[in-house]
Amino acid sequence: MNLNKMYGLFLRHFYLIKGSLPRILDLIYWPTIQIILWGFISKFFSIYSDYYNNTIGIILTCAILYDILFRSSISFNMLFLEEIWSRNFTNLFIAPLRLKEIIISLIFTALIRTLIGLVPAIILTSPLFGVSILKLGLPLLLLFLSLYIFGITLGLFVSAGLIRFGPSFENIAWSSLFLLAPLGCIYYPIDILPHFFQIVAKALPLVYIFDETRNILLNNFIDYENLKYAYLLNLIYLGCGIILFYYSFIKARVKGTLINMGE
């Protein structure tokens, strides 16, 4: 593996972000709006609901963690979407880059994009709503890493679809996370779901991640079983995502669809 090639691809997208104010504003806008919106919704529940006293903290914290997942997944897909939109997709594979070099470059690019989008939103929650996600302490790092891995995994699945099917698969890149949100039990416990959907939901690491988030905030202790199941499922899905990515690339190369991508 050539570090210079991976670093070059990383710089290509880093400078694309750095030199474009609209792109930076877009990264900051959506998570900030979502955090503020859910902050006011949470504040409403904390005033008019007796379900639990820490409504604003729990719901707002879950909203921030969910946006980590959303940003990491979308950021991973943005390389392919940017290349398709600029009609530069073919040149990406003409360059002497290996698939594993592309994947690793995208992982670090996605991390930078995720942090750019979320840090301002996280900073705003403390003065506006009196909530700091940093109160989770060390478990926050474990939860963040787990969500980031799952976001990268979803990015691999969607990117595989973009390589295999082209721009027609673009809408899936934006809707995939919204389809998983109801089963992920982000804002409510899994008991709310019908029995059949509970079985399906237990196959997602999101259930264990957000259940553990609520457990830490409500009970002030860490259940490492939830984290263990989340990481185990993450590793399984990540392996499947990498295999699918390679398979889609091989099929697209055989069918010649890479040449016409973005045309």
Q: What is the pLDDT of residues 28-69, one digit of tens each?
A: 766 776 676 566 656 656 665 655 555 567 778 888 888 888
Q: What is the per-residue pLDDT across 205-249, written as a single tens digit (0 to 9) for each?
A: 999 999 998 888 878 888 889 999 999 999 999 999 999 999 988
* Phi and psi, residue 235, nearest 5°: -65, -40
Burial 146-183, CB ≥16 within 10 A → b, else e: bbbbbbbbbbbbbbbbbbbebeebbeebeebbeebeeb
pTM for the full model? 0.79
Spatial distance between the Cα atoms of 51 and 67, rounded to a whole number of angstroms:
24
DSSP state of 87: T
Q: Using CA atoms, how far apart are residues 88 and 259, in angstroms rounded to an integer? A: 10
